[in-house]
Structure 1
Amino acid sequence: MIVLFRRNLIDLPINYSLNYYWSSGFVLSMFMVLQIFTGVLLSFLYVADFMCSFFMVMNLSNDSFFTWCLRYWHMVGVNVLFILLFFHMGTALYYGSYVKKGVWNVGFVLYLLVMGEAFTGYILPWHQMSYWAATVLTSIVDSLPVVGPIIYKYVVGGFSVSGITLIRVLSVHICLGFVILGLMVVHLFYLHKVGNSNPLFSFYSFNDLVYFHSYFSIKDLVLFLVTCSLVVFWLFFVPDLLVDIEAYLEADYLNTPVSIKPEWYFLAFYAILRCINSKIGGLLLIVSFVFLLWVPTDGGSSVYSVWRQINFWLIVSLFLSLTYLGSCHPEYPYLVVCQLFSVIMVLMMLVFKLY
């Protein structure tokens, strides 16, 4: 065990040219561990009951300073987690990490599971926006041909989102956290097996290599502490920066919010989904983009290709634009722009992976 630990975390040969973008993986892992830790503590104080879940969550903010910090760290932490995740995936795309199929496949599965984990966690407070977001997004499953209604009943536990859904969501949310933790270890195993995608790194050469400790362990630790400092600032000065006002209203089955929207990290996909009149059409467009994002190809790094760099930053710009458009009211001209940007982004991702 000691030899394995030293080989992977102390004596690991690393190219000295790695920048701070490569430290995002370590910081991301640490924040995931913190999210699981705070989530386990919160689960001790949570009751999955549609009559009292909202009041239990609100009491966490009012009972004591410790429970307030615990709840808001978990809320702010998931936002920081997705910021780091997008940086990490962007770095992997830019440097062509999808060529290393083992690392890329496990990492992509992790991304899907983290999205599922975040969505189930968003439902648990059972406030107005979380209830209606769950109602709208689970209805997509019901729209699937043939098997849709059957799967929908198993997912929500009945004919609509209810207290049974809340119990199932809590179970899935807790289990997924530990599944993600295990897959992170598998991801690290594949990374150390084949090496990273740094264009200056050669796995079969020992030129320009240094030990991971203390050169990069200190670098990762510094970035982690800086990120924690930013989270603490966010926590104590602007804790409700990204919290919707509907999150402080109890779920009302008879009153629909003016604009139903998920958290910001789902807004790009939400914009694609609602800009198409057909639910199946929007779902197919999302699946097409996600499939193209995942599919491993032989395309190399963007470092030495100006065309690939332009293509990459166009995709990033379109994704950010769709994130903004997803927060806008679904009306003209936003829907038309969403349709245009969605199709262009899928085509640009296809070109990026092929060439």
Structure 2
Amino acid sequence: MLLYMKLFLKYPTPLNLNYMWNGGSLLGFFLFFQIMSGVFLSMFYNASITSAFESITLLMDNIHLGSVVRYVHMNGASMIMAVLFFHLWRGLFFKSYYKKGAWFIGMIMMYLIMFSAFLGYVLPWGQMSFWGATVITSLLSVFPGGVSVLKWVWGGFSVGEATLGRFYTLHFIIPFLLIPMSMLHLFFIHKKGSNNPVGIFSDSLKIFFWPYYMIKDLLGFFFFLLFFFFFIFFLPVFFGESDNFIKSNPMNTPTNIVPEWYFLFAYAILRCIPNKSLGVLMLFLSLLLFLMPLVSTTKKMYNNSIFFFLFFYLWSFNFLLLMYLGGMHINTHVVFLSQLTSFFFFFFFFFI
């Protein structure tokens, strides 16, 4: 173990890395926070449709610092997704997908994190939790034999006790699967060497990870931690939906069912297409990110053309606009704009 730690600290790293390369370490820190806070919450949570909502209320009202731990876990999910999107954005900009091993493992980890975030959103068993689970799982019905699969996922004919228990089990297991996968991700990065802003690779332009980048990672972490604590203590429910503070009621559908902010881009793509099957197909096409090393049309790892910069930043703005549209009440104007932004979103993968 000491040998591996020594190799890690003495790992030769490009000397021109900036704070855009802090994403991986930040994700590691927040994964630790999520696991620790999640283990604490699991001691009080009851995965039952009759008492799940009440167990969280009891935790927040009667357990010392219970509300703080819950807010750490709840806002931690948003922090992880924010850093994950930034980490992915940096990887796309600097074409990190040419390092195929690290890219494929990283993308699998991203999908697992997003899946775990969705499962965790269901566990409080509020109105948005129940109806969000119902809407998202119902998408399985568009596939051949999907109705049978859907009943198996539900454990019945609708979202219920069995569904909640299965979601809770998977939500608890996935973070522990991410630990060895993150080590494998680091292995592939260290095997091929880290990318850098200018795309020049030379052993003479490298320095040891310790102390230079360890200090930079810790500094970035502490600044982000202040940002994180601001939300925990001053805006703890900023990312939450008001309907999710109401116990689930299968007989009362919320007026506007929306997912968490980090799924809004996918929600906008899904609902802008009138045909449900085609909408689900387009939603799954967004997984093209996984295949970037195969579908990319450029061969250079670094592209310094002004046209590429302009196109990439326009695509980034388009992605934010897609998220904004996903959170708006649907009307003809929102649908039209969502279709335009969705087209540009997919066009990017074949251009880059």
Aligned to 2:49: 50
Q: Structure 2: how far apart are the matches of 1:299 and 1:293?
A: 17
**Identity of aligned pairs, percent?**
35
Aligned to 2:316: 316
C-alpha contact 1:267 1:323 (8 A) present in aligned 2? yes
C-alpha contact 1:15 1:201 (8 A) present in aligned 2? no
TM-score (norm 2): 0.96
Matches within 5 A, 1:20-169: 20-144=19-143, 146-169=144-167
C-alpha contact 2:199 2:302 (8 A) present in aligned 1? no
Cα deviation for residue 299 of structure 1 reads 3.8
C-alpha contact 2:127 2:247 (8 A) present in aligned 1? yes
Matches within 5 A, 1:324-343: 324-343=324-343
Aligned to 1:279: 276
Q: Structure 1: how far apart are the matches of 2:350 and 2:39?
A: 40
SS at match of 1:259: coil
Aligned to 2:186: 188
SS at match of 2:50: coil
2:238 pairs, out of 224, 238, 241, with 241
Q: Structure 1: how far apart are the matches of 2:335 and 2:131?
A: 21
> Which string of whole-angstrom CA distances, capped at 9 and with x for unpartnered residues, describes residues 137-158 of structure 1?
10000121x2211211221111
Q: Structure 1: how far apart are the matches of 2:39 and 2:303?
A: 42
Judge which range, 329-338 or 163-172, deviates more: 329-338
Cα deviation for residue 76 of structure 1 reads 0.8
AA aligned opposite 2:100 = K
Cα deviation for residue 295 of structure 1 reads 2.6
Cα deviation for residue 87 of structure 1 reads 0.7
SS at match of 2:204: coil
Q: Structure 2: how far apart are the matches of 1:160 and 1:149?
A: 11
Q: Structure 2: how far apart are the matches of 1:294 and 1:312?
A: 18
Q: Structure 1: how far apart are the matches of 2:266 and 2:225?
A: 28
C-alpha contact 1:302 1:308 (8 A) present in aligned 2? no
Cα deviation for residue 348 of structure 1 reads 2.2
C-alpha contact 1:274 1:282 (8 A) present in aligned 2? yes
Cα deviation for residue 214 of structure 1 reads 0.5
Unaligned runs of 5+ in 2: none
Cα deviation for residue 64 of structure 1 reads 3.2
Cα deviation for residue 202 of structure 1 reads 5.2
TM-score (norm 1): 0.95
> Which string of whole-angstrom CA distances, capped at 9 and with x for unpartnered residues, describes residues 153-172 of structure 1?
22111111111100000011
Q: Structure 2: how far apart are the matches of 1:293 and 1:332?
A: 32
> Is 1:171 matched with 2:189?
no
AA aligned opposite 1:307 = F
AA aligned opposite 2:7 = R
AA aligned opposite 1:4 = Y
Unaligned runs of 5+ in 1: none
Aligned-residue CA RMSD (Å): 1.4
> Is 1:266 matched with 2:253?
no
AA aligned opposite 1:34 = F
